[in-house]
Amino acid sequence: MAEIINLRLARKAAKRTANERVAEINRAKFGRTKGEKERDRIETERQARRVDGARLDSSAREDDR
């Protein structure tokens, strides 16, 4: 015979689990220290400068024609 479950309690448990997953994602996304945020900002800027430094100018491509 099948186990009898209370659907109200099952729905509440499922919602609780879903809310816990969202909370975990938010903790990872927003739960960083000021130093970690600053380090990531500096790293992003450094990478942007590196990409910009390696970019070819449009005038250099026209000279090759």
Cα–Cα distance, 6 to 27 (Å, whole number): 32
Cα–Cα distance, 5 to 1 (Å, whole number): 12
pTM beyond 0.75, yes or no: no
User: Does 24 reside within a domain?
Assistant: yes
pLDDT for the residue 64: 59
- The domain total for the chain is 1
User: Does 2 reside within a domain?
Assistant: no
Cα–Cα distance, 25 to 61 (Å, whole number): 45
Please write the tens of the pLDDT for every residue from 1-40. 789 999 999 999 999 999 999 999 999 888 888 999 899 9
User: Does 40 reside within a domain?
Assistant: yes
